[in-house]
Amino acid sequence: MTKRVTIEALADWLRDRDDVALLGHVSPDGDAVGSTLGLWHALVAMGKRSVVCLPGGVPKLYAHLPGAEAAVDTDAPLPFAPQAALAVDVSDPPRLGEAGIRVFEACPHRAVLDHHGTNEGFGELMLLDGKAAAAGEMAVALIEAMGVRLSREMAECLFVAISTDCGHFNYTNTRVETFEAAARCVAAGIDIEAITSRLYRTRSFGRTKLLGLVLAGLRVSEDGRMAWAKLTEAMLTQAGALPEDNEGIVNYLLEIEGVQFAVLANERGSQTKLSLRSKPPLDVSTAVAVPLGGGGHACAAGATVDADPEEAIRRALVLAEVALRGDTQGERCSP
């Protein structure tokens, strides 16, 4: 049984540990990368040995973050045998990936810091705040609870974590605490213009081409409430893009006037990774992601399906259509 703990209890737990592995989820996003790196700087500042493990390593988009060079691909050999593991932004063990599960299970002490409401808990302890906009928001408070001064390096990583997970303070998950955590990062001396320019106003040529290829195949339902598109491996090759360049494309579908449900089907070999988005009050996690074996947040969720993109989209649309008819809508929706 996993014990739900307070931020102070997790701070005490970490203070008592050395040789800590910080584990992020598969397809690491800004929150997974930024939160693990931010906490890594804090543990190092406390004189501890620590390592950040991310499936596939640090994505190119975040490779400039301070400390990224010290992070390892979870599949690669670790620089030391960790005694404690902290899974960050990971909603369930499969999201650690196969190697991540192995590293986590091999540690004598295991804990979780997460903000996914669907997290049922794993490891010995879990700090869960389903209302936090990002794991990074919680990480800022955790660093404070450990008595560590927020350095500029930590702040840069954590601001990226917070900003990317709340749509740069646009989504409904943005709350007072989100701004407060971001304000602490600003107080630590980060360069907001440089960070946000790189994240939101700079795109590689390949990523831009990919956007065009995906949007060329965009479809909407007759009633205009559902939009879908696929992103095939052939498109990646044609555009000269990386798999991680899919990030953000699904939002273009959701932003179409009248659309309440959007799905982007990413071909991954014989499987399809679905990126699911909705507008309130549709709870896309409960209505679509969970029935397909995935999870996530009310308005931003995902699932990996053993099917080609066409079939995966068909399954998602069937579920979304039922939900849009009003059968399984959540009471409130925050990504």
Residue 177: both structure tokens together: 């605490």
Nearer to ligand 5GP, 150 or 235 (CB): 235
Number of H helices, E strands in the chain: 12, 13
Cα 171 from Cα 334, distance rounded (Å): 7
Complex with Mn ion: residue 259 or 334, whichever CB lies closer: 334
For residue 3, give the amino acid letter.
K
Q: Which of 133, 303, 316, 319 binds ligand 5GP (CB under 6 A)?
A: 303
Residues 65-104, interacting with Mn ion (CB under 5 A): 89
What is the smallest separation between the CB atom of 190 and ligand 5GP, expressed in angstroms?
24
Binding mask 79-98 for ligand 5GP (x = CB under 6 A): ------------xx--x---
Contact 299, 280 (CB under 8 A): yes
**Contact with Mn ion (CB under 5 A) among 20, 30, 31, 91:** 31
Nearest to 154 by CA among 124, 186, 132: 186
Select from 30, 295, 309, 330 the one that contacts ligand 5GP (CB under 6 A).
295
Distance CA 174, CA 176 (A): 7
Examine residue 165 and tell whether it contacts Mn ion (CB under 5 A).
yes
Q: Three-state SS for 303? A: strand
Question: What does the per-residue mask of binding to ligand 5GP show for 165-204, with x meaning CB under 6 A?
Answer: ----------------------------------------
Q: Does 297 bind ligand 5GP (CB under 6 A)?
A: yes
Query: What count of other Cβ atoms lies within 10 Å of the Cβ of residue 254?
Result: 20
When binding is defined by CB under 6 A, the residue of 239, 265, 301, 319 that contacts ligand 5GP is: 301
Q: Any bridge partners for residue 228, and if so which? A: 219, 263
For the chain, how far is it from start to end, CA to CA, in angstroms? 27
Task: State how far the Cα of 322 lies from the Cα of 265, in Å rounded to an integer.
Answer: 19
The residue number whose beta carbon is nearest to ligand 5GP equals 302
Q: How far is the CB of 312 from ligand 5GP (least distance, A)?
A: 12
Stretch that binds ligand 5GP, among 33-41, 104-112, 216-224, 300-308 (CB under 6 A): 300-308
User: Cβ 100 to Mn ion, closest distance in Å?
Assistant: 16
* Number of residues forming the site for ligand 5GP (CB under 6 A): 15
Residue 118 DSSP label: T
Joined together, the tokens standing for residue 100 give: 């991540």
Q: Which amino acid is at 139?
A: A
DSSP assignment letter at 257: T
Residue nearer to ligand 5GP on the CB measure, 55 or 302: 302
**Which residues here bind ligand 5GP, judged by CB under 6 A?**
27, 29, 91-92, 95, 275, 294-297, 300-304
